[in-house]
Amino acid sequence: MFVNISRNSAYSQVGEGWKSLIDKFYDVVESDKTIYVNTVKEKFGGLRIYFGHDCFNPVENQFMPNPICYHNQEHIWELADSLMEQSYKICEACGNPGELRSKRHWIKTMCDSCEKAGL
């Protein structure tokens, strides 16, 4: 079985400023026990949430991880994409309006204050 990252574990993978974005995702998927979150991270300055879906396998008579089974998931993919787009405008450190910044070969989404503070 794939790893299922809890909401609290997801919080620890990115800055405090994106907590509300993570909440939006988990508020939708936590009630669906067939969806599992296997990665939450910052990549190229944006929030990435990778997830999978368990499908019922009649041969095994149980739900099993199946990366091919994406039926009825379009709304979740759209949500993950929307949250990624939103993250490019929210400071990862504090949650204030931010923008992509590039320093020392690293791209982060930050507000002016957090950039000046070196966060």
Q: What is the pLDDT of residues 48-79, one digit of tens each?
A: 999 887 665 556 665 555 555 555 677 888 99
Distance CA 89, CA 117 (A): 18
Whether 115 shows a pLDDT value over 60: the answer reads yes
Global pTM value: 0.83
More confident residue, 84 or 118: 84
| Token pair listed for 22 | 């993570």
Whether 99 shows a pLDDT value over 70: the answer reads yes
What pLDDT, on the 0 to 100 scale, is given for residue 1? 45
Residue 24: count other Cβ atoms within 10 Å of its Cβ: 13
Give the model's confidence band at 3: pLDDT under 50 very low, under 70 low, under 90 confident, else very high.
Answer: low
Output DSSP code: residue 12: T
Distance CA 76, CA 19 (A): 18
The residues, any chain, with a CB within 8 Å of residue 113's CB and separated by 6 or more, are: 94, 96
Token pair 């939006």 in the structure block, residue: 24
